Amino acid sequence: MSPSPLAQLDQQTAELLSTIDALTSLDALRDVEATLTGKRSVLAALQKSLGSLEPDERRAAGAELQEARRVVTAAFDERRRLLERDARLESLESDRLDLGDVVTPDVVRPLAPGHPSLVAITQRELEDVFVAMGFTVADGPEVETDWYNFEALNIPPAHPARGMWDTFYVDLGEPETVVLRTHTSPSQIHLMEEAVAKGTLPIHAVMPGRCFRRDTPDASHLYAFHQIEGLVVDRGITFGDLAGTIETFTRAYFGPDITSRLRPGYFPFTEPSAEFEVTCTICRGEGCRTCSFTGWIELGGCGVLDPAVFDAVGIDSTQWSGFAFGFGVDRCGQMRHQLTDMRALTENDTRFLEQLS
Ligand code: DAH
């Protein structure tokens, strides 16, 4: 009788188990997997040799071999589980970041506190000047109907003066056209309507706020910009009151060296109308690029209220008269701080902004 092919099985199994025990890395484990438990393993070779045995012997040997395989495979799987766990712990450890490694004193700079923009600062200063002159401060909506932005201001549809304001339309629909206000003048209408409704005439108010025009931004134009509107409705108001108010404001805000002038102009809601200009603060009136070598900067418009506007809001123009003005807040900030380019106000360049803090 030939010796059983499994004569050495116990010893072979013991050797396999000690090889498995000696594996110290997952790479090594993968390298030897086929020779320990796979097709190239000793146990697989033994399996093949069982074919030469008698059926009874083969059955018994097969069972013995299967048990050996189960033990070896279980040891192998357990070894893999342990090595995987070690590898996971190792990578967790090596990936760990100590706060001290990433946050150095150099990185933890205290946050600089913010500050208002030049436009906000300018608006507040302008309000202060007018409040000191006896005006109250009001505001109005940035989105208006066509009626408030144009019609009530004596600018009917298709009036050629509409070309003075390149308008952003929000809705062209029925029943009313809606626009982003192109100037703060519609706030005059709201204020007069309210005063009529509440019986609170006279009015001495300024209304600052944001306006919008389809302008291409350049050194002296922004498509979203700010104006401050002024409105006085009282008894016996004349153009002289307007001119005096404008000059008093100019000196109070820009200082005694800067003066104002009114040039004849046209606005549908005032008669007579004027352009309001101040000495160029960049060249002090000498003439420079910013003032197109005129020595003067146009800030806005003004005039005596047209009776047609009083009619639109139901104020009796035989009893009341008034004046209005509207000028650029951004332009005032530009002149006061001698900015050659207004786009600096919207570009968020910290080199510019930090100079204001
Ligand atoms: N709303 C005019 C504009 O933006 C400026 C203006 C002119 C305002 C005359 C007024 C005024 O109150 O009376 O071009």
In the chain, how many domains are there? 2
Rounded to whole angstroms, the maximal C-alpha distance in the chain is 140
Number of H helices and number of E strands within the chain? Answer: 12, 10
The pTM for the full model equals 0.70
Counting from 1 in the atom list of ligand 1, the atom nearest the Cα of 325 is 12
- Ligand 1 center to 344 CA (angstroms): 25
Answer yes or no: is the C-beta of 229 below 6 A from any ligand 1 atom.
yes
Domain boundary (78, 107, 136) is at 107
Encode 152-192 in three state secondary structure.
HHCCCCCCHHHHHCCCCEEECCCCCCEEECCCCCHHHHHHH
- Given the DSSP bridges, would you call strands 203-212 and 136-137 parallel, antiparallel or unpaired? parallel
Which residue, judged by its Cα, is nearest atom 7 of ligand 1? 301
In a structure prediction context, what are the per-residue pLDDT tens digits for the chain, which is 357 residues long?
A: 557 788 888 899 999 999 999 999 999 989 888 888 888 888 888 888 888 888 888 888 889 989 999 999 999 999 999 999 999 999 998 888 877 777 766 666 777 788 889 999 999 999 999 999 999 999 999 999 999 999 999 999 889 888 888 999 998 877 889 999 999 999 999 999 999 999 999 999 999 999 999 988 888 889 999 999 999 999 999 999 999 999 999 999 999 999 999 999 999 999 999 999 999 998 999 999 889 999 999 999 999 999 999 999 999 999 999 999 999 999 999 888 888 888 999 888 888 888 877
Provide the residue range defining the domain that includes 82.
9-107
Residues 79 and 153 placed together within one structural domain of the fold: no
Residues 128 and 271 placed together within one structural domain of the fold: yes
Instruction: Supply φ then ψ for residue 97, to 5 degrees.
Output: -110, 125
Residues 72 and 187 placed together within one structural domain of the fold: no
Has residue 145 been placed in a domain? Answer: yes
- Alpha carbons 324 and 333: distance in angstroms, whole number: 21
Q: What angle do CA 300, 190, 249 make, to 5 degrees?
A: 35
- Ligand 1 center to 302 CA (angstroms): 6
- Alpha carbons 336 and 13: distance in angstroms, whole number: 95
- Given the DSSP bridges, would you call strands 224-234 and 321-328 parallel, antiparallel or unpaired? antiparallel
Token couple for 219: 């050194």
- Alpha carbons 180 and 109: distance in angstroms, whole number: 42
Residues 93 and 128 placed together within one structural domain of the fold: no
